[in-house]
Structure 1
């Protein structure tokens, strides 16, 4: 198994979905149309709050080894990013977990969970790019810079998790499970995006 080939396969399979999750409509869906600074901050904080809780559970379930180390480092990193985002406003009262988090919580095997980290990070790096653009547009350069740092931290997870996946996939069946988990993680995020926009009366597909 080759880490770069795996990532290319996932990105190619979900090219359209990732592109739309990196659009301004994605941020509109995450805030349910309330495009003000506090709502954007709260939406991003929710993403990191629930991801940290999920990856922390995985850390407890798999101690040691490449996957255990990845989950431990990922939980720590995501916890730090949550603290960074949450510090931008006074109180964060998290909403219920999103469908993508619910999907991740249902993954059982080590290859699936490592691939879930990949899928989650690919989604979130796209979403955070929109948050950067939003705060640039709001003339909040310091907050935009903070989100650039957050995005860079998330991007680092993609390659780290892909390298770990090479170590934990012992068979073609493991690799197939991992590919399906990464793709379905992205798909869960996209389906949520699509359904939310339709509920808001917005066409989820770009108009050409």
Structure 2
């Protein structure tokens, strides 16, 4: 299983969770049902700031090849947080999960594969929110942020530094991280009396 196949395996294993995390309920969960501009900006800043902090620490703790990729991803997340220009809130369930991940291969999967796959779904709804608010400037900004945050270049390059077994470990960790994000989302909605499953 090469790097591309590893990412495809994670997509296949987490299709249901990612589909649900791409629904319009994701911002209800992320903002505690406060669907206002500042709350949405805070949710986005929380994710990017937390990711930048964790990836930066991982860069300091990793070997040279992987450290470079973690460092580049950390800088990119910090730059996105600066563009969002809002105070971060308490870490969300995904960021809390990343704090528990240890081992290079597992960190590659969680931080450089799961995070972009989740960002793609999250920022889809952020863009939609600002379109609905008729705030085209912010919608355009978040279109750019979505494209950058969901890019898997760092993940694919770093998976290439791992052994076959390392890539399998990374895929398992990425799947676990996405499931953790979904569990947090589902629990948050259920506490509000909402069903995380789509209504068919």
Which TM-score bucket, shorter chain as reference?
over 0.9
Structure 2 length-normalised TM: 0.95
For 2:19, the equivalent position in structure 1 comes to 19
Residue 69 of structure 1 deviates from its aligned partner by: 0.9
For 2:56, the equivalent position in structure 1 comes to 56
Residue 202 of structure 1 deviates from its aligned partner by: 0.8
Which residues in structure 2 correspond to 1:57-96 (within 5 Å)?
57-62=57-62, 64-65=64-65, 67-86=66-85, 89=86, 92=87, 94-96=88-90
RMSD: 1.2
For 1:97, the equivalent position in structure 2 comes to 91
Structure 1 runs (4+) deviating above 2 angstroms are none
> Are the aligned partners of 2:42 and 2:89 in contact in 1 as well (CA < 8 Å)?
no
Structure 1 length-normalised TM: 0.91
For 1:205, the equivalent position in structure 2 comes to 197
Does the residue aligned with 1:12 lie in a helix, a strand or coil? helix
> Are the aligned partners of 1:115 and 1:162 in contact in 2 as well (CA < 8 Å)?
no
In the alignment, is residue 160 of structure 1 matched against residue 159 of structure 2?
A: no
Gaps of 5+ in 2: none
In the alignment, is residue 112 of structure 1 matched against residue 106 of structure 2?
A: yes
Residue 63 of structure 1 deviates from its aligned partner by: 5.0
Distance 1:159 1:41 in 2: 25
> Are the aligned partners of 1:56 and 1:75 in contact in 2 as well (CA < 8 Å)?
yes
Q: How many residues align?
A: 199
Gaps of 5+ in 1: none
